[in-house]
Structure 1
Amino acid sequence: MNRHEELIRNFVDAWPRLDVDAIVDYFTEDGIYHNMMIDPVQGRAGLTAFIGAFLNGWSDVKWDILNIASAGNLVFAERVDHFKVGGKPVDLPCCGVFEIENGKIKAWRDYFDMGTYMKALA
């Protein structure tokens, strides 16, 4: 495993603590999170507000990395994100593409099926 893959594994392992500041600290100052169903969010303040908002009501978080690969400054992580939202369990298959710069996440693009997420919450 290379250092970029290790960074992403550590990032994934940070989510169960639900500590927004610790999660956002993995990003560069101008880092971007693009949840592909909505507009990208950029910068530490924007990331803190966005991630904090969707973590509200989350519990029992565990993300399983199924496959991880890297090339240059890119890391691809196929995952299943497990968590509860308002007490309802969600098992969400995802694929994240991460651009790394100077040991931090410069950009994170996450791909998943919104229907799977919404069905779990129904």
Structure 2
Amino acid sequence: MSEAGNLALVQSFIDAWSSLDSERLVQFFAPDGVYHNMPIEPVQGHDGLRAFIGAFLANWTETKWEVLSVATSGRLVFVEWVDRSIAHGKTVALTCCGVFELEGGKIKVWRDYFDMETYRRAIVG
């Protein structure tokens, strides 16, 4: 897939987050795809991804990513964004940076970097 195609796939994935539909999001990943939320252990495979994404989306009522910058290099797409969500009834604005490795039109690996303490403070109050 071309860099433009990889970028379009990641943009579609970003847009899909507002649906809060874990099954829809999992379909963007390769069957053995990996999601590594850097503050915690990586999750691999559709079953693991479905459970992990579903668990935190269960407490969200809204989310939209405000993309700040994007860069591509071959199979890699780098995205910086502010994740503007309502989680646990609280407003969260979390600055994130993600590195997406794409293969065969799917996300093979997503490494997501953010400050867990910023998220925790927002939902705890």
TM over 0.5: yes
Tell me the amino acid that sits aligned with residue 95 of structure 2: P
Corresponding residue number in structure 2 for 1:16 = 18
Q: TM-score, normalised by structure 2?
A: 0.95
Indicate whether 1:106 and 2:105 are aligned.
no
SS at match of 1:37: coil
Corresponding residue number in structure 2 for 1:45 = 47
Corresponding residue number in structure 2 for 1:70 = 72
Aligned pair count? 122
Tell me the amino acid that sits aligned with residue 123 of structure 2: L
Give a deviation string over 1:52-106, Cα, whole Å, max 9, x none.
0010110121011110110010000001001111210000000000000001000
Q: TM-score, normalised by structure 1?
A: 0.97
| Coordinate RMSD, CA, aligned | 0.9
Asked if the contact 2:20/2:62 (under 8 Å) is kept, the reply is no
| Distance in 2 (alpha carbons) for counterparts of 1:6 and 1:71 | 14
Asked if the contact 2:65/2:84 (under 8 Å) is kept, the reply is yes
Equivalent residue for 1:3, pick from 5, 15, 20: 5
Gaps of 5+ in 2: none
Tell me the amino acid that sits aligned with residue 105 of structure 1: I
| Distance in 2 (alpha carbons) for counterparts of 1:14 and 1:121 | 23
Asked if the contact 2:94/2:118 (under 8 Å) is kept, the reply is yes
* Runs of 4+ deviating beyond 4 Å: none
Gaps of 5+ in 1: none
Asked if the contact 2:75/2:102 (under 8 Å) is kept, the reply is yes
